[in-house]
Amino acid sequence: MYTMGVDVGSASSKVVILKDGKDIVAAETVQFGTGSTGPQKALEKAYEVSGLTREDMSFVVATGYGRFNFEGADKQVSEISCHAKGVFHLVPTARTIIDIGGQDAKAIRLDSKGGIKQFFMNDKCAAGTGRFLEVMARVLETTLDQMASLDELADEAAPISSTCTVFAESEVISQLSNGVNRNNIIRGVHLSVASRACGLAYRGGLEKDIVMTGGVAQNAGVVRAMESVLKKDVIVAPHPQTTGALGAALFAFEAAQKK
């Protein structure tokens, strides 16, 4: 039996196809989100990789910001529930999830059975999200992929005091003009992102194991900053961008079984 989860986010679209609720046969990400051709492109990639078609899917669940705009789903499930489901499937010891996506961040507390105890979201401001990092990378004349390695070369973190993306951008420009080492600024940017995300986690009460998901989890500099702030180890989920889509595919499998 094949089931599919489609996560239509603000910055990217993800698709996971599961066989019998456990084997991942496709996990694809396209960097286009809601209101674009991203979901369709992600579907096409998943079908190409798996050699399957829509007709082979017993059930399809959509999640993410654009879940209600995605045609072809049998059901919609919230992204909080799907992230919790996906992470617990991958890391059964997870009790705290910190997810940093393109335009939001969230912290989710789980119980020993993977149920959601509490969650907090920052979806009102781009600071502390992937979008914030994109803006900073442009100002610093580097790429998101290079930021983690440049962070390693820093000898200290240049403080980023502004919590607003626009003001932080001006602050970084000012630091550059004053001759502050670029690598130190990058470490400061990573620390700023980590601090905001960790603030959400602290609101719900921090409990090990801590698992990080979302596209920003692929930036080792942010992960190191998170561990520095929390003073605890942080596990990066396997394929951190697709955990929501995985959770949706797992919900689809449960629905297909009932059906």
Helices (H), the chain: 38-50, 79-90, 130-139, 144-152, 165-177, 182-204, 220-230, 243-258
Q: For residue 34, what pLDDT is reported? A: 56
d(CA 197, CA 225): 11
- Residue 19, number of CB atoms within 10 A of its CB: 16
Half-sphere CA count of 46, side-chain side, radius 13 A: 33
Run of H or E including 219:
none
Is the per-residue pLDDT at 85 higher than 60?
A: yes
Q: What is the pLDDT of residue 135?
A: 94
Q: Reply yes or no on whether the pLDDT at 33 is more than 60.
A: no
Whether residue 92 is predicted with pLDDT greater than 80 in this model: the reply is yes
pLDDT band at 160 (very low <50, low <70, confident <90, very high): very high
- Please state the rounded mean pLDDT for residues 146-170: 92
C-alpha span between 117 and 107 (Å, rounded): 11
Q: The whole model's pTM is what?
A: 0.93
Q: Domains of the chain by range and CATH?
A: 1-91+238-259 (3.30.420.40), 93-236 (3.30.420.40)
Mean pLDDT over each residue of the chain, to the nearest integer: 94
